[in-house]
Structure 1
Amino acid sequence: MGAGVSYSQGLATRKGGNLSNCLHDRYPLSPILAEGLVLVVLLLLALALRLPPLLHNPLHADEALYATWGQRIATGQDPWLLKGPVFKPPLWPYLLAGSFLVFGVPPFSPPVDVRFVARLPGLMAGLLSVALVYRLGGRLYGRRAGMMAALVMTLSPFAILFSATAFTDPLMVALGLAGVVAAVEGRGGWAGLGLGLSAATKQQGLIFLPLALVLGLVRRRGRRWKWGWWRGGLGLALILVGVLAWDVFRVVNGGVSFWAEGWAGYGGLRFAWSVELLPRLRAWLRWLGYFFASPLADGLVLVGVGWRVWRDLRRPSLAAQTDLLLLGFGLLYLLAHWLVAFPVWDRYLLPLVPIVALLVGRLITDLSRHRATLVAFLGAMLLWEPAMAAAWSLFPVGSDHGAYDGLERVIYFLRAQPRGTVFYDRWAGWHYDLYLFDGHPYRAYAPHPAWLARDLTVFYREPGASPPRYLVVPGWAVVTRWRRALTEAGFSLVPVLVTANRWGERTFTVYRITTESPLRRADRVWEGTGLFRAPGAAGQGTSGG
């Protein structure tokens, strides 16, 4: 016993510190395990905050389209996506196809399961971004700053709501961050692969390339990694050549290049007109406000970052250069999206969330050198309420927030109809393509009321002589023109199902098309999200809950 104590005391003396420090030196896994435990807790918290909106919110129209791509690949019906519009690189559709192959291809019972399967890759990408922000913050500013940045990323309402979607952006950001982390660590080959995969998810993933280059040069200054840059370029080129080969194969076989489709979707790029500048600025600032969704937090961050820049300019250092580079990247990104007529969509700001998290993590660390736990606790409490509000989908960011509520009930109703049933629609085709993938019932696209009247004049048969026909109208559409055109052609619309969103507003109405007088329509129509049996609605069932 005495010999052991003497050895430890002697070790402490030689190390020039106390026994605790020497034990940490001798057993270095203890602090690493502690930090790993904290990171695991943050990831579990991030998962808990992101699951409710993932399961609660309906699919946005673009999410439904992306899921349909994965569906077509997974079933083998269109493995190269030659049919229909495709305006994204290949990584995301094939990743969704893998998710469908693991969990099964829609239609599911109930259809709501599609949300989980389609959004699971985005959820994993969102959690990966939290871990990568921790890693990048640790490399740039130290482990404490990395932990604070990961906490900010975990609690950001913007990050919460986008991690619960099937958009391409969460994976693009995660892979871009992976490339930046690899560049900072001097792993050129991995940096190139990460950046290439980010661009293979969404074309805008290339925006991380200049950030990786500049941070890599600054952080690796004076160190030999010339060959790392060559490996990085090779890795990036390898991925981009693969994407190009996929696109060329599609074009040769009758498809349309995703670059051409994307360019046409934007309507081309141009600078914003002078009359657009102020409205665009207001719109972008409005979306920025949801990064923390707290005016107090926004004000503190603005003041704190301004103070940090002032200190950086007065006291140059490697960390100060990093601050200015991150801030400059964010400002240039915003400036480009303001002055160039990109659509003012919230998801275009997602790449800035980890940048802001890193700067805020650095700021919190500077302010909490002697009271780290207290400052971190106060910061978490400041962001906790907005984070919970985001988990309950109270902010209009990310996926759909009510416009498509009740669509699953419409799907139940339509699938309960007899074979041969036809329904007309012109508003939610991507959703119906996903949920009614097997073609029952048949969806007929009705471009305008006159077309529908002509089609019914040719193909309509009296009730009992053929399966029923329906018109499904969303709440944002006006049915008056359609009713007038059908009335003039001798038809009437009888409502058999009405759904409502979470605020009680009408979302979808299913009309049965008939030649009967409108006065003989069903004597009751329930408004809500449930199904009900109405007279004349053959084969209609009840809600499965």
Structure 2
Amino acid sequence: MTDRFVLPRGASRTAPAPAPSGAGVRAAAPLTAVLLLAAFLRLWQLTATGFNSDEAVYTGTAASLAGDDRLGSLFPVFRAHPVLFQSLVSLALRVHESDWAARAVPALLGVATVAVTYGLGRRLYGRRAALVAALLLAVMPYHVVVSRQVLLDAPMTLCATGALYCVVRYAESPSPRWLLAAGGMLGFTVLAKETSIVFLGSLYAFFALTPAVRTRWRHLLPALGVIGVVAVAHPLSQLLAGHARAGGNYLLWQMFRRANHPYFFYGDEVPWAVGPVVVVAAVAGLVWLRRENTWRERLLVCWVVVPALFFTVWPVKGFQYLLPVAPVFAVLAGRTLASFPRVVRLQRIAAAAAIWLVVVSLAVPCWIRIQPQTSTRFLAGTGGLPGGREAGLWVRGHAPEGSRLLAIGPSMANVVQYYGFCPVSALSVSPNPARRNPSYRAVANPDRALRDGDFQYLVWDAYTARRTPFFTAELRGLVGRYHGTVVFTARNGDGVKVVEVYRVRAS
């Protein structure tokens, strides 16, 4: 029972005495500076590159919710995911319809996550560790890069971190209101992205491994009920709209589709994005300060390990899927760095220098990664799709009304469709319903479709060409057979061709 009430040095269970107003301003100044830095990195050159495929889909859905008739027929509201985040983006688009307005929503939610991480760290390890944790998350490449995109993962991470904070409050003093609050936050986490239900597994593992933190059924059942009441809004809205099969079909496809990355994808990618020094500091603290480890560290470890194992086994792996573990690594690393003076007997100046070296090790690669992309090699979820916006805007301005386009794959098809206001199909979509995303429709016989004049333009892009040489060769064959003429070419900052649009003629 004792490990329940052990507080780390610097943490206090009692509320501090009211400080003079001047002292309060001075105390708030460091956190304010961290939040301003977080906002700068997330908003700097936010629209230098156009949307990627997922961004185009989510923003198109948001535009449909905002009443945009041009995109409503191309991006239906009910596809696969809940629409909590898309609804927030739709509010921004009602004020100002632009790429910047759409991306500013997750960027600001990312800044809010830095603030919540500070609150979590302060509750667990005190103000100094909390400030270091907030600073690490503010400049962490993983969190900065993902929160600059119109993706579901930034709002999911905010809600998940809020739920974790509520669980900490419940573990400190078992008041049912904190478990109910945790249930509500987890419900909103699921509404942000349904795969976040995995955090129920994290909490189950924590409570099962921590008998000192007792959960009473009269607290647990209402909290589970709150999760259900909040999360049921997604399937209920689909049912009432007559799209009940959409979510189920998408789930089945995700479960049985071929893996898009090897099992060790996250081990190869995420530590470098979080920051190797941060990962080392977080793990080293668990070892160096093991005599101080209590339920707090067990909770944080469960919060990381369960989703990491789940998505390692899950066939579909996206770079951004493990984003909710980033605040936990920041808090654990902040604990370690804040404990440097007493653990390794460093002077305060040396300890501060160590902290800033870690911050710089994150800030430099972060700054590099938020610059406009020039390479044609990148992972889905790491940024925009070069050339897609330019190609779509050319289509909008030059393609006759009623034109239809055929791209190699759905990634570029979604982007050109969003910016060009024209339907775009994809060659690589399988005609077998069990092997394709239910949101897409296959072109059963592309050669016949072009011969009949169903498509007037073909779209080649470097990103998809690198991934699917077979369908790239097929598109090149169609260009040759149907007298394709290059009408638009987009190049990246290095002058490398990234997108070409061909006008074709039916035989």
AA in 2 matched with 1:188? L
In structure 1, the residue matched to 2:263 is: 280
Of the candidates 398, 407, 415, which is equivalent to residue 431 of structure 1? 415
AA in 2 matched with 1:290? W
The Cα of 1:216 is off from its aligned counterpart by 8.9
The Cα of 1:499 is off from its aligned counterpart by 1.2
> What is the CA–CA distance in structure 2 between the aligned matches of 1:143 and 1:216, rounded to whole Å?
26
> What is the CA–CA distance in structure 2 between the aligned matches of 1:81 and 1:418, rounded to whole Å?
17
AA in 2 matched with 1:309? L
Of the candidates 428, 443, 448, which is equivalent to residue 454 of structure 1? 448
Farther-moved stretch of structure 1 (304-313 vs 130-139) = 304-313
> What is the CA–CA distance in structure 1 between the aligned matches of 2:475 and 2:39, rounded to whole Å?
45
The Cα of 1:243 is off from its aligned counterpart by 2.7
In structure 2, the residue matched to 1:381 is: 360
Deviation track 1:46-89 (CA, whole Å, cap 9, x = no partner) reads 11112236322332211211112112221176999995871112
In structure 1, the residue matched to 2:4 is: none
Based on CA coordinates, which of the two structures has the bigger radius of gyration? 1
Of the candidates 142, 147, 150, which is equivalent to residue 131 of structure 2? 147
CA contact (8 A) 1:183 1:216 kept: no
Classify 1:145/1:227 alpha carbon distance in 2 versus 1 (closer, same or farther; 3 Å): farther
User: Does the residue aligned with 1:509 lie in a helix, a strand or coil?
Assistant: strand
Of the candidates 255, 273, 285, which is equivalent to residue 308 of structure 1? 285
Counterpart check, 1:94 vs 2:87: yes
Of the candidates 310, 314, 326, which is equivalent to residue 353 of structure 1? 326
The Cα of 1:336 is off from its aligned counterpart by 3.0
CA contact (8 A) 1:60 1:400 kept: no
Classify 1:135/1:254 alpha carbon distance in 2 versus 1 (closer, same or farther; 3 Å): closer
> What is the CA–CA distance in structure 1 between the aligned matches of 2:117 and 2:275, rounded to whole Å?
20
In structure 2, the residue matched to 1:262 is: 251
Of the candidates 151, 172, 178, which is equivalent to residue 167 of structure 1? 151
Classify 1:212/1:422 alpha carbon distance in 2 versus 1 (closer, same or farther; 3 Å): same
The Cα of 1:260 is off from its aligned counterpart by 3.2
AA in 2 matched with 1:381? V
The answer for unaligned runs of 5 or more in structure 2 is 1-15, 171-177, 429-441
AA in 2 matched with 1:286? D
In structure 1, the residue matched to 2:295 is: 321
User: Does the residue aligned with 2:223 lie in a helix, a strand or coil?
Assistant: helix
Kindly report which structure 2 residues correspond to 1:50-129, keeping only aligned pairs within 5 A, or say none.
50-52=42-44, 54-75=46-67, 83=76, 86-104=79-97, 113-114=98-99, 116-129=100-113
CA contact (8 A) 1:184 1:212 kept: no
CA contact (8 A) 1:470 1:510 kept: yes
AA in 1 matched with 2:101? V
AA in 1 matched with 2:19? Y
> What is the CA–CA distance in structure 2 between the aligned matches of 1:486 and 1:449, rounded to whole Å?
16
Of the candidates 229, 254, 271, which is equivalent to residue 289 of structure 1? 271
The answer for unaligned runs of 5 or more in structure 1 is 1-23, 105-112, 461-467, 517-545
> What is the CA–CA distance in structure 1 between the aligned matches of 2:38 and 2:356, rounded to whole Å?
17
In structure 1, the residue matched to 2:183 is: 192
Deviation track 1:268-322 (CA, whole Å, cap 9, x = no partner) reads 69xx9xxx99x422x222212323445xx26xx42x4454333444x2x4x5432
CA contact (8 A) 2:300 2:328 kept: yes
In structure 2, the residue matched to 1:35 is: 27
In structure 2, the residue matched to 1:496 is: 487
The Cα of 1:480 is off from its aligned counterpart by 5.2
Classify 1:98/1:80 alpha carbon distance in 2 versus 1 (closer, same or farther; 3 Å): farther
Deviation track 1:342-390 (CA, whole Å, cap 9, x = no partner) reads 3232112212111111110000011045515444333323333222223
Classify 1:266/1:80 alpha carbon distance in 2 versus 1 (closer, same or farther; 3 Å): farther
Classify 1:173/1:443 alpha carbon distance in 2 versus 1 (closer, same or farther; 3 Å): closer
The Cα of 1:202 is off from its aligned counterpart by 0.7
In structure 2, the residue matched to 1:422 is: 403
Q: Report the TM-score when normalising by structure 1.
A: 0.72
Classify 1:75/1:257 alpha carbon distance in 2 versus 1 (closer, same or farther; 3 Å): same
Q: Report the TM-score when normalising by structure 2.
A: 0.77
The Cα of 1:434 is off from its aligned counterpart by 1.9
CA contact (8 A) 2:118 2:130 kept: yes
The Cα of 1:164 is off from its aligned counterpart by 0.3
Identity of aligned residues (%): 21
The Cα of 1:397 is off from its aligned counterpart by 5.9
> What is the CA–CA distance in structure 1 between the aligned matches of 2:252 and 2:212, rounded to whole Å?
39
User: Does the residue aligned with 2:80 lie in a helix, a strand or coil?
Assistant: coil
Deviation track 1:142-199 (CA, whole Å, cap 9, x = no partner) reads 1111111111101111011011011101101101111221232343332222111001
> What is the CA–CA distance in structure 2 between the aligned matches of 1:194 and 1:76, rounded to whole Å?
31
CA contact (8 A) 1:293 1:386 kept: no
CA contact (8 A) 2:387 2:499 kept: yes
AA in 1 matched with 2:86? P
User: Does the residue aligned with 1:422 lie in a helix, a strand or coil?
Assistant: coil
Aligned length: 453
Kindly report which structure 2 residues correspond to 1:513-532, keeping only aligned pairs within 5 A, or say none.
513-514=504-505
Counterpart check, 1:206 vs 2:193: no
> What is the CA–CA distance in structure 1 between the aligned matches of 2:30 and 2:379, rounded to whole Å?
28
CA contact (8 A) 1:189 1:232 kept: yes
AA in 1 matched with 2:418? L
Classify 1:508/1:423 alpha carbon distance in 2 versus 1 (closer, same or farther; 3 Å): farther
Kindly report which structure 2 residues correspond to 1:6-25, keeping only aligned pairs within 5 A, or say none.
none
Counterpart check, 1:237 vs 2:228: yes
> What is the CA–CA distance in structure 2 between the aligned matches of 1:75 and 1:361, rounded to whole Å?
45
AA in 1 matched with 2:267? L
Counterpart check, 1:392 vs 2:371: yes
The Cα of 1:120 is off from its aligned counterpart by 2.1
User: Does the residue aligned with 1:496 lie in a helix, a strand or coil?
Assistant: strand
CA contact (8 A) 2:203 2:303 kept: no
User: Does the residue aligned with 1:411 lie in a helix, a strand or coil?
Assistant: helix
Classify 1:183/1:84 alpha carbon distance in 2 versus 1 (closer, same or farther; 3 Å): closer
AA in 1 matched with 2:266? W
AA in 1 matched with 2:305? L
CA contact (8 A) 1:68 1:430 kept: no
